Amino acid sequence: MPDEHHPDHAPLELEHFLPYRLSILSNAVSQAIADDYQRRFDLSMTEWRVMAVLARFDGLSAREVAERTLMDKVAVSRALSKLVETGWVTRAIHDGDKRRSVLGLSEAGWAIHEVVAPMAREHERNLLSKLDDEERSWLVRILDKLQAIEPK
């Protein structure tokens, strides 16, 4: 909790500064997971996110993938070109709109997914195991509130 006794311009104590703490925690967690599938499948985090979204929503366009993952379209485009090349994602052209692509996991892509999804879940479980039930439910509630549309 920010200490009211420090004047506003006093040096920040990074280790108690919420944005900093979130950043450290988030990076540590994401990196641990990413290292895992990176090492085993040479799959980047953006690529995995694209695959995860296509596993749930088959036939999306690239723009829709970008929306769902909150990544920008350039990142998605790059991830897709690699994924299509390695054969884990299929890309067709939308009939009726030649600009749009129609994306989905290939058989091989599903096979990767079958391995990586449980891996990711395992990391999450591991993280949550540090909390008790009460803490877990507060965490979800707090995240929901904090994420209620960032008002700049």
Q: Are 113 and 51 in contact (CB under 8 A)?
A: yes
Q: Are 120 and 103 in contact (CB under 8 A)?
A: no
From 48, 50, 53, 101, residue interacting with DNA (rule: CB under 7 A): 101
The yes or no reply on residue 97 touching a copy of itself (CB under 8 A) is no
In DSSP notation, 27-53 reads: HHHHHHHHHHHHHHH---HHHHHHHHH
- Find which of DNA, a copy of itself, none residue 99 binds, CB within 5 to 8 Å per kind: DNA
Question: Which residue number, 2 or 87, has a Cβ lying nearer to DNA?
Answer: 87
From 85, 95, 107, 150, residue interacting with a copy of itself (rule: CB under 8 A): 150
Instruction: Quote the least distance from Cβ 120 to DNA, whole Å.
Output: 17
The yes or no reply on residue 90 touching DNA (CB under 7 A) is no
User: What is the residue whose two structure tokens read 């965490």?
Assistant: 139
Q: Which amino acid is at 118?
A: P
The yes or no reply on residue 74 touching a copy of itself (CB under 8 A) is no
Q: Are 30 and 120 in contact (CB under 8 A)?
A: no
Residue 102's DSSP bridge partners are 92
Q: Which residues bind a copy of itself (CB under 8 A)?
A: 1-2, 8-14, 17-30, 32-33, 49, 52-53, 55-56, 68-70, 113-114, 117-118, 120-125, 127-128, 130-131, 135-143, 145-148, 150, 152
